[in-house]
Structure 1
Amino acid sequence: MSALVCVARIGAAHGVRGAVKLWTFTEDPFAVRRYGPLSTKDGRRQFEIAQAREARDHLVATFKGVATRDEAERLNGIELYVPREKLPATDEDEYYHTDLIGLAAVTTDGEPLGRVLAIHNFGAGDIIEIAPPKGTTLLLPFSNAVVPEVDLTGGRVVIALPQEIEGEDEGNDPSTSRPRLVRKAHGSGDP
């Protein structure tokens, strides 16, 4: 079975005719209409978008077969998935989160660090979260400088640990020891 990728989450009902707020996780919010029926993660339910329009930071959508506010309210919180192969191919140094999560993380010397737990973006750039076998997770910039190699076929990412991590040495100026956060897809390789 193909890997599934979450492309949207249904939000609260909108109006009285079965519309919902739809939060999309695609670069183009309307791309969710091009993937065909969307399904729940377990595949038990499928949803086909009948109409969608742009709102402030989400879409307002109606699904075929959902005509009342009560029906729409029961959908709140459902995540919608598509098979990975329905998504467009990525460019060089661009990755879907689902392709990275679970990969082994190793240092440039080949020492194991753990596994990729998640990719986050809190507004300053992408962050890779590594879960070591023991201890607290590592949060590092997902940049060419810190992640010089992503080997999807080999199932690993190579991590160049920063020389200084803010807070380790009280005498350091945090503005000089904090790595710049850049998207891996656009990073130049400079920290």
Structure 2
Amino acid sequence: MSALVCVARIGAAHGVRGAVKLWTFTEDPFAVRRYGPLLAKDGKRQFEVATAREAKDHLVATFKGVTTRDEAERLNGIELYVAREKLPATDEDEYYHADLIGLAAVTTAGAALGRVLAIHNFGAGDIIEIAPPKGTTLLLPFSNAVVPEVDINGGRVVIALPQEIDGEDESEGLSTSRPGEGRDP
């Protein structure tokens, strides 16, 4: 089976007729209707969008076969996937996160760092997670400065490891302000 790409996540039930909030991760939120049946992560359950309308920052959608609020509530939190080949081709210098998983990660000098394990976004930008052969994983900003080259055909990403941030000198961190001034206690 080809790689699956997460295109949406089902949220809370909306109303009493089986509708749900649907958070999409596609450039066009309504694209989820064009991919055909969407799969749960395990690939065993399929969901087909019957209707969708725009809401504030999500869609309100119904799925074929889901007609009650109770049925809709049981879907909350399910991530929906499509096979990678169903997605449109990317432009040059664009790629899907799924294309990066498993690529070799090397330094700008060519030294092996490990493999790309995941791409995360906790709200402040993408983070690339690299699993070294031994030790703890590396979490680095997925920016042009840190990842200057992505070579999908060559099977690697180049990482410019950031320089360690020097900490403050211990004496610089001491406050000389009087009580009630400057820093909060």
Task: Pick the TM interval, shorter chain.
Answer: 0.7 to 0.9
| d(CA) in 2 for partners of 1:28, 1:86 | 15
Aligned to 2:164: 165
Give the TM-score of the pair, scaled to structure 2: 0.82
Structure 2 counterpart of 1:88, which letter?
P
Aligned to 1:21: 21
| d(CA) in 2 for partners of 1:51, 1:33 | 8
Aligned to 1:182: none
Seen in structure 2, the aligned counterparts of structure 1 residues 136 and 44 have a Cα distance that, compared at 3 Å, is closer
CA apart distance, 1:165: 2.4
Seen in structure 2, the aligned counterparts of structure 1 residues 74 and 53 have a Cα distance that, compared at 3 Å, is same
Aligned to 1:181: none
| d(CA) in 1 for partners of 2:42, 2:139 | 30
Query: Are residues 1:87 and 2:98 paired?
Result: no
Seen in structure 2, the aligned counterparts of structure 1 residues 122 and 42 have a Cα distance that, compared at 3 Å, is closer
Aligned to 1:137: 137
| d(CA) in 1 for partners of 2:79, 2:167 | 44
1:149-177 deviation per Cα after TM superposition (whole angstroms, max 9, x unaligned): 21212321111222x222xx2259xxxxx
1:40-67 deviation per Cα after TM superposition (whole angstroms, max 9, x unaligned): 2333221111111122222110011111
| d(CA) in 1 for partners of 2:140, 2:151 | 18
Aligned to 1:96: 96
Structure 1 counterpart of 2:71, which letter?
E
| d(CA) in 2 for partners of 1:96, 1:85 | 11
| d(CA) in 2 for partners of 1:158, 1:100 | 12
| d(CA) in 1 for partners of 2:66, 2:118 | 34
Aligned to 2:2: 2
Aligned to 2:172: none
CA apart distance, 1:138: 2.2
Structure 1 counterpart of 2:58, which letter?
H
Structure 2 counterpart of 1:119, which letter?
I
Aligned to 1:186: none
Instruction: Give the ranges of 4+ consecutive aligned residues of structure 1 lying more than 4 Å apart after TM superposition.
Output: none
| d(CA) in 1 for partners of 2:66, 2:86 | 25
1:14-49 deviation per Cα after TM superposition (whole angstroms, max 9, x unaligned): 111010111111122111111111122333221111
| d(CA) in 1 for partners of 2:125, 2:76 | 29
CA apart distance, 1:133: 2.5
Aligned to 1:73: 73
Seen in structure 2, the aligned counterparts of structure 1 residues 12 and 125 have a Cα distance that, compared at 3 Å, is closer
> Which one has a bigger Cα radius of gyration?
2
Q: Which structure 1 residue ranges, 5 or more long, are not aligned?
A: 173-191
Q: Classify the secondary structure of the residue corresponding to 1:65.
A: coil
Aligned to 1:43: 43
CA apart distance, 1:83: 0.9
Q: How does 1:114-153 map to 2 (within 5 A)?
A: 114-153=114-153
Q: Classify the secondary structure of the residue corresponding to 1:170.
A: coil
CA apart distance, 1:118: 2.0
- RMSD of the TM alignment (CA)? 1.9
Identity of aligned residues (%): 88
Aligned to 2:155: 155
